[in-house]
Structure 1
Amino acid sequence: MLGRVRAAMCFTPSPEAAGAWWSEALGAELHREVEGDSVYTWVDVDGMEFGFHMLDEQRNPQDGSPCQVMDLFGVVIGLDGP
């Protein structure tokens, strides 16, 4: 059985904007990692990381899962939105 989920990752055209919005909404510090053109932002809330990656058509096409959860063993579970 799945226990606690540690992280949720969403792909977005603007990780900076998404991260800033959630940071303000949740009252959490915004963290940033920039590597060349790749930007990753995240907020930690009660031991859970909410991360925002650049939308990448090759690795995460639009008809793929817009949000993913990784379990403790590195298994990625996709969550489809409405």
Structure 2
Amino acid sequence: MFTDVRLVMVFADDPEVSARWWGQVLDLPVKTDVSPTGAVYAWVQAGGVELGFHPADDERNPRGGSPVVYWGVDDLDRARDHLLAAGCEHHRGPLVIEPGRRIAQLRDPFGTVIGLEGP
């Protein structure tokens, strides 16, 4: 029934700015689509998953309505340091959740909480 994660959507005040920041951090190209109303949807494609940024809307798509998505990483400390240097803020962890497996959460410059999971 469920196979894999294909799209993670984040609701942002400025979707293109958010996507461009992530594109730079992950060294990935940014794609954009502009609706007839002028709303911008922007995204990057990483590891088969689309990380998309949609305009926040207090009625339909409020900030904070997004799940925490965990990126698999080979070196949690190095990935965390990279994101902190790029402008993220510490949110939680790193925590050992089982032997050989740790997680950490950070908040990007636009308020989105993301997770890292790795050794």
Provide TM-score, normalisation by structure 2: 0.51
Q: Is the 8 A contact 1:10 1:52 kept in 2?
A: yes
Larger radius of gyration between Structure 1 and Structure 2? 2
Q: Does 1:20 align with 2:20?
A: yes
Change beyond 3 A, Cα 1:68–1:51:
farther
For structure 2, which runs of at least 5 residues remain unmatched after alignment?
70-112, 114-119
Report the alpha carbon displacement of residue 2 of structure 1 after superposing the two structures with TM.
4.3
- Per-residue CA deviations over 1:39-74 (Å, capped at 9, x if unaligned) read 100000121100000001121234x613488xxxxx
Please list every run of at least 4 consecutive aligned residues from structure 1 whose deviation after the TM superposition is greater than 6 angstroms. Answer: none
Q: Is the 8 A contact 2:11 2:62 kept in 1?
A: no
Q: Which has the higher contact order (CA 8 A, sep 6+)?
A: 1
Provide TM-score, normalisation by structure 1: 0.72
Secondary structure of the 2:65 match is coil
Identity, in percent, stands at 38
Q: Which has the higher helix share?
A: 2
Q: Is the 8 A contact 1:30 1:43 kept in 2?
A: yes
Aligned residues: 71
Q: CA RMSD in A?
A: 2.6
- Per-residue CA deviations over 1:1-42 (Å, capped at 9, x if unaligned) read 743211100000010110000001111110000012211000
- Partner Cα distance (1:27, 1:13) in 2: 22
Opposite residue 33 of structure 1, the aligned amino acid is: D
For structure 1, which runs of at least 5 residues remain unmatched after alignment?
70-80
